[in-house]
Amino acid sequence: MAYTTYKRPGILTALCIIGYIVVMGSLPSIFSPDVRRLGIWFPSVLGLLIALRFIAFVGIWHMKKWGVELLLYAFLGGLIITELAGITSYYVGVPAQIIALGVAFIYYRKMDRNL
Amino acid sequence: MKLTAPVCSTFDVMIFLTLLRESISFAFHALRVNRLRTLLSLLGITIGIFAIIAVFTAVDSMEYKVRSSVQSLGENVIYIEKWPWAPEDGVEYEWWEYMNRPVAKVSEAEELAKRLTLSEAVVFTARLRKTVNYKTSFVENAQVQAAMYPYDRVKTFNISTGRYFTEQETEAGKAVCIIGDNIRNALFNLEDPLGKDIKVFGLKVTVVGVFDPEGESLLGNSMDSQILMPLEFIRNIADVRKEELSPNIMVKALPGVAVADLKDEVKGIMRSIRRLKPTEDENFTLNEVSILSSGLEQMFGIIGTAGWIIGAFSILVGGFGIANIMFVSVRERTGQIGIQKALGAKNWFILTQFLTESIVLCIIGGVLGLVLVWGGTAIASSALDFDFTLKASNIVLGLTISVLIGIISGFIPSYSASQLDPVEAIRSSS
């Protein structure tokens, strides 16, 4: 079965680079004193979300639909977890994440379904 | 192209689990084959996890110890003193003003005890250092604490043997004392101290009780090294109005009374006792444990953040090491990947195989790091007489970081391996 792979547009390249930087930047947050104070389970869940975001950006970099879907799940997961933990500061990053998702979804139809 | 939703049957799940098991065994085989490389590449993670968890363990243990010491001062107790324990936020520490203030007096404590409605107990205390001896044994500069009768209601302590003073003993200024565990060990060794006379100020003082061992206190307020005596006895031989004796009044709030309310009442009564005009500033300070707690929170926050930064860099370096070694691993096994794919291995199988290898590598590194921390805490605890404890939350955190680093540093090499074209892969290795 032949698949047509579209070249990655510049905006997605920029999105992925920013995404990688944000993910690497947010990595130390899992062992920040504030996060540890929220509970024994919280750093693990936050770490999982960070890993999911990283994988999602790898997927988007390779123009894969699962990358966009994974980014959406990570976003929704983040919302649920932070809502449960009662962290209001998370909402500061929500508009940026919605913009990132919006940009990724614009090119969703041109992306590849396979792994 | 028409996409249909995948149907997941029990058979599919079984196949998935079989392939997953197979990819894990592949990963372990690869790690076993390259033992030295495995060891060297996981060292980065081991050192990173060791650095960060060791710092967190040390900070947590010290924080616990200091908090216990602070709590033993009494959370709902106000200390009326000449000097504040810490400057107020945004206010200069006016030591030249505090120097001219009068010290707390016994008469003020008695007056407060009569007039306060929100307090459970009011106690005047003073402390001095003296050499105490029993027969040929002696303790130099032992801390002698002089206190009014209801001291046991404002200060938290337990008596292991013997008893607390009676009201008559304290009011009559009887020569009795309760000694800490360190004093007992130094003076009596294996002998029972109850009823024995020790010499303080050259006078015979009868031991009526021994405090429960508390261990070292970071604030230096452990009862282990103290000798508690009735205030009236000390007043006969020393001037408790002297500043060197650190005279202070401790006021404990009634159950359910907020410390802020008690503070207001104490402030009003103290102003009236000292005849301060409404326009005049207070010439006393109401200290409370929360002053120390907030100061300590700041201090531990800074230490924690420092540990966090050190650990973050160590982990980052370890992560790059793992990513590098995974790229090498993929490069080395390109031919093998090509053959696997030619025989029908799915992309996700190759991905899982390499990702598992990376995660397992990081977990082994993390576990080694945690074992080092555990060993370090055991050695430090016995060498420093300080209880370092590796908490469950830190173990979980260490393992979480390991898995996370394994995923992040291993995903790109694993994904690139999964995307290899079988023909090209086999050709490149030949």
Q: Do B400 and A62 touch (CB under 8 A)?
A: no
Q: What tokens were used for A43?
A: 């750093």
Boundaries of every domain in chain B? 20-68+295-429, 104-255
pLDDT surpasses 70 at B430: no
Rounded Cα gap, residues B195 and B193, in angstroms: 6
**Which amino acid type is present at position B405?**
I
Q: What does residue B266 show for φ and ψ, rounded to 5 degrees?
A: -60, -45
Rounded Cα gap, residues B138 and B205, in angstroms: 14
**Which amino acid type is present at position A29?**
S
Q: Supply the ipTM of this predicted assembly.
A: 0.88
Which pLDDT belongs to residue B5?
Answer: 47
Please give, rounded to a whole number of angstroms, the shortest distance from the CA of A66 to a CA of chain B.
13
Q: Which residue of A has its CA nearest to B310?
A: A28
Q: Which residue of A has its CA nearest to B304?
A: A33
Tens-place pLDDT, residues B36-67? 888 888 888 898 889 888 888 888 888 887 77
Tens-place pLDDT, residues B350-404? 998 899 889 988 998 999 999 999 999 999 888 887 788 888 888 998 999 899 9
Q: Which residue has the higher pLDDT, B213 or B75?
A: B213
Which of A5, A23, A31, A40 to mutate to probe the B interface, most B CBs <10 Å?
A31
Q: Is A77 helix (H, G, I), strand (E, B) or coil?
A: helix
Which pLDDT belongs to residue B1?
Answer: 42
Q: Do A115 and B52 touch (CB under 8 A)?
A: no
B-chain residues near A36 (CB < 8 A): 56, 393, 397
Judged by a CB distance cut-off of 8 A, whether residue A33 touches chain B is: yes
Which pLDDT belongs to residue B204?
Answer: 92
Please give, rounded to a whole number of angstroms, the shortest distance from the CA of B69 to a CA of chain A.
21
